[in-house]
Amino acid sequence: MLDRVVVITGASAGIGAALAEQLGTAGAKLVLVARRQRALDAVAARCGAHVLTVAADVTHRNDVERARDAAIERFGHVDAWVNNAGRGITKAVSQLTDEDIDEMMRINVKSALYGAQAILPSFRLQGRGHILCVSSMLSRVPFAPMRSAYSAAKHALNALMANLRMELAASDPGIHVSVVHPGVVDTEFARNAVHAGASATDMPGAQTADEVASVIAQTLAVPRADVYTRPGAQKMVVAYFSAPDMAVAERVYVKVPGRD
């Protein structure tokens, strides 16, 4: 990663901050993007000398384009753009409002679309680049009903990025598109969800942000299209989609009253 220029959204905490620290240690030049300038500055202080912070709301296209312009002005080009900003929700499908759906799509899908569309012209000019999006295991296996709209939004993100990857395969083979699927991660993500929720700290088997960031860093170094951060996760996805009846597979993960 030495001297590679990497933009990371949602970089003020959690996975984004952990990734920034790992890449900074490896010699990358970083552009850290999030809404909270003070938190960004704290992360930047741990990432080496070549760091630019941009306070921006990535749900606004103009802010994303401003971050891109600042990155290119500072470092001359961008090698990789990591769409990491996201937010969860704690609400069942039957209770979702228009506002809930709109917010999940705005934060988890449109922000990533804005990032990809903003940086693509630069990547095309230089003939190379890497767009990486942080998705979720829940985009593949919807085993947490209270994360309903988050799961749906991340599923939409997967579809957009798969189609973008196929679009670029013929016209711009030097541009890679990756999607990384963490499971439960020990950060404040769940506690900060819309309508709040339990922290992943309370959930057994949660990965650390550093563990997930390490997988993302490896994917940036050696691009792959679809990546899982937990051992065995891909087998779980395959088993779910190959089940003769998905409803049977889902019952394993759903608590039914009166059943142990």
Beta bridge partners of 52: 31
Q: 7 with 33: CB under 8 angstroms? A: yes
**Residue burial 141-165, b: 16+ Cβ < 10 Å; e: rest:** bbbbebbbbbbbbbbbbbebbeebb
Strand partners, 31: 7, 52
223 near 178, Cβ under 8 Å?
yes
Quick one: tokens of 154? 């991340």
CB neighbour list of residue 162: distance below 8 Å, 6 or more residues apart: 179, 225
**Which of 150, 228, 240, 253 is an active site residue?**
150
Nearest CA to 103 out of 88, 84, 118 is that of: 88
Q: How far apart are the C-alpha atoms of 65 and 121, rounded to whole Å?
A: 12
Q: What is the dihedral of CA 46, 193, 61, 181, to 10 degrees?
A: 70
| Residue located via tokens 């030495």 | 2
Residue 204, classified by CB atoms within 10 Å of its CB into exposed (0-12), middle (13-18) or buried (19+), is exposed
Q: Is 150 a catalytic residue?
A: yes
Which residues are identified as catalytic? Answer: 150
